[in-house]
Amino acid sequence: MTSEEQTVSLVDVLEEDEELEEEASAVLAGSDSDHCSYPQGYVKRQALYACNTCTPKGGQAAGVCLACSYKCHEGHDLFELYTKRNFRCDCGNKKFTDLQCKLCPEKEEENTGNKYSHNFFGVYCTCSRPYPDPDDQVEDEMIQCVICEDWLHGRHLGCVVPDCVELQEMICESCMNQHVFLWTYAAHLAGKSPSSLRKRLDKTHFYVTKTENSFQSTVNSHENKENAKNEKVCPNFWPPSCKRSRQEAEPDCRLKELEAIAQKRVQSGAVFWPSGWRSKLCSCSSCQTSLRESGLSFLLDESDTVLAYENKGKNNEQRQQGNDPLMSALDNLNRVQQLEIIHEYNDMKTELKDFLHRFAAEGKVVTPEDIRQFFEQQQSRKRGRVNTGQFYCT
């Protein structure tokens, strides 16, 4: 292999960490880093933090928005909670005895609509351990439950973690058992492709039970006839409400249809749901009422998903960035300049990873000031190398 073949282009180098950068920007770009989210009320989904300095374990759980984590809790011991749904920023309310929010000081004493878990005290999963866990040497991914929004180790889910897990949603075993109707959906929807889901649900609309089949056939054979309104057409099991037109009748309950099929599934372990599964849930008035009473109305909202939030964040980031000036300038660089930038970029990438690793090991949040100081140090080192002639300058 020649030296020309071994050379990696600057574009290849810059794209190497693109996926990781997108993931980070997706979480933060979906939230406002300059303004407290409290005036927005209970935000549909946002990045959240818990301050161990202000609300330590043993006290009341509290969560703060992205902007408050920067402006009001800089230098504090923060727990990163990723994202939570329907949460209103607590920063500076009565749970914070010695702190007033700098961005939005006028707040109610308590946000009664917020939901809290042990995550707000820095522990996760059924094992109630911190993340990262200094005492756990096993490499394992953390996966968030759609319903309780706790983070669980893959090895503690009680099931096999599928490939492409980032494209699926997970409901933990505890939440499945708390809302047992989900097992019925799981028997038909979980682990199925979108095309097979459509075929299965189309079939269940017509093949439910023997009696209902007969009823459906009777309706189909008479619905276009003028005497369909006559009571004589109605079979003996047709209820009095048959006089109503089918358009006025309540839509069939998809959940009841699936229950009638009685397809078996082992009811243990967490369940992974394929993309688009929420659209297959029944939305009849009865099911909507049940979901609302159980606090699960969000399951009918596909924009509630973390993936939808991340995509929104990525789109916001792309609109703000526009055309990347660094990538646009590549055509104006000669070969020597490109190689020089590649070497500098690799050095900076290594140093940045080491820099961020220290924050992760200590469980600290990286602030804009930390990043500014890092790049100031980089510029200082670069000037030092230029003055001592340690690298070639064009």
Taking the alpha carbons of 281, 287, 290, 291 in that order, is the dihedral positive or negative? positive
Instruction: Please tell me the distance from the alpha carbon of residue 63 to that of residue 90, in angstroms, as a whole number.
Output: 6
Give helix 194-206 / helix 181-189 axis angle, nearest 10°. Answer: 120
Instruction: Please tell me the distance from the alpha carbon of residue 83 to that of residue 43, in angstroms, as a whole number.
Output: 11
- Tokens 């909507």 correspond to what residue? 288
Q: List the chain domain ranges.
A: 31-121, 124-206+247-311
Please check whether residue 356 is in contact with residue 366, taking contact to mean a CB–CB distance below 8 angstroms.
yes
Mean pLDDT of 69-84: 95
Token pair, residue 112, equals 């009664």
Amino acid at 285: S
Mean pLDDT of 321-339: 61
Q: Is the pLDDT of residue 142 over 70?
A: yes
187/202: higher pLDDT: 187
Q: What is the pLDDT of residue 269?
A: 96
Please give, one letter per residue, the 3-state secondary structure of 77-96.
CEEEEEEEEEECCCCCCCCC
Q: Nearest-CA neighbor of 306 among 344, 273, 268?
A: 273
3-state helix, strand, coil in the chain (%, to 5): 50, 10, 40
The CA-CA-CA angle for residues 179, 169, 199, to 5°, reads: 85
Q: What is the pLDDT of residue 361?
A: 78
Instruction: Please tell me the distance from the alpha carbon of residue 191 to that of residue 200, in angstroms, as a whole number.
Output: 13
Q: Would the pTM of this model clear 0.75, i.e. be above it?
A: no
Q: Is the pLDDT of residue 303 over 70?
A: yes
Share of the chain above pLDDT 70, in %: 68
DSSP state of 130: -
Model confidence at 211, pLDDT cuts 50, 70, 90, reads: very low
Q: What is the pLDDT of residue 372?
A: 82
Please check whether residue 280 is in contact with residue 189, taking contact to mean a CB–CB distance below 8 angstroms.
yes
Model confidence at 191, pLDDT cuts 50, 70, 90, reads: low
pLDDT tens digits, 193-203: 333 444 444 44
Instruction: Please tell me the distance from the alpha carbon of residue 143 to that of residue 141, in angstroms, as a whole number.
Output: 6
Q: Is the pLDDT of residue 322 over 60?
A: no
Q: Are strands 64-65 and 78-87 parallel, antiparallel or unpaired?
A: unpaired
Distances (CA, A) of 99 to 29, 64, 90, 371: 26, 12, 11, 25
Q: What is the pLDDT of residue 379?
A: 75
Instruction: Please tell me the distance from the alpha carbon of residue 289 to that of residue 300, in angstroms, as a whole number.
Output: 12
64-65, strands of its sheet edge to edge: 64-65, 43-51, 78-87
364/203: higher pLDDT: 364
Q: What is the pLDDT of residue 317?
A: 66
Please give the mean pLDDT across all residues of the chain.
78
**Start-to-end Cα distance in the chain:** 28
Q: Is the pLDDT of residue 260 over 50?
A: yes
Please check whether residue 111 is in contact with residue 93, taking contact to mean a CB–CB distance below 8 angstroms.
yes
Model confidence at 29, pLDDT cuts 50, 70, 90, reads: low
Task: Give SS3 for 238.
Answer: coil
Please check whether residue 34 is in contact with residue 104, taking contact to mean a CB–CB distance below 8 angstroms.
no
Q: What is the pLDDT of residue 330?
A: 56
Least confident span in 214-218, 298-302, 386-390: 214-218
Please check whether residue 309 is in contact with residue 169, taking contact to mean a CB–CB distance below 8 angstroms.
no
Token pair, residue 325, equals 């000036």
Q: Give the contacts of 199 (CB within 8 A, at least 6 positions apart).
A: none
Q: What is the pLDDT of residue 45?
A: 94
315/19: higher pLDDT: 315
Q: Give the contacts of 220 (CB within 8 A, at least 6 positions apart).
A: none
Q: What is the pLDDT of residue 313?
A: 77
Q: What is the pLDDT of residue 222?
A: 44
Mean pLDDT of 211-237: 43
Q: What is the pLDDT of residue 37?
A: 97
Mean pLDDT of 305-326: 72
Q: What is the pLDDT of residue 16?
A: 53
Give helix 181-189 / helix 254-261 axis angle, nearest 10°. Answer: 70
285/26: higher pLDDT: 285
Distances (CA, A) of 336 to 9, 342, 349, 381, 386: 12, 10, 20, 21, 16
164: region left, alpha or beta (phi > 0 left; psi from -120 to 50 alpha): left
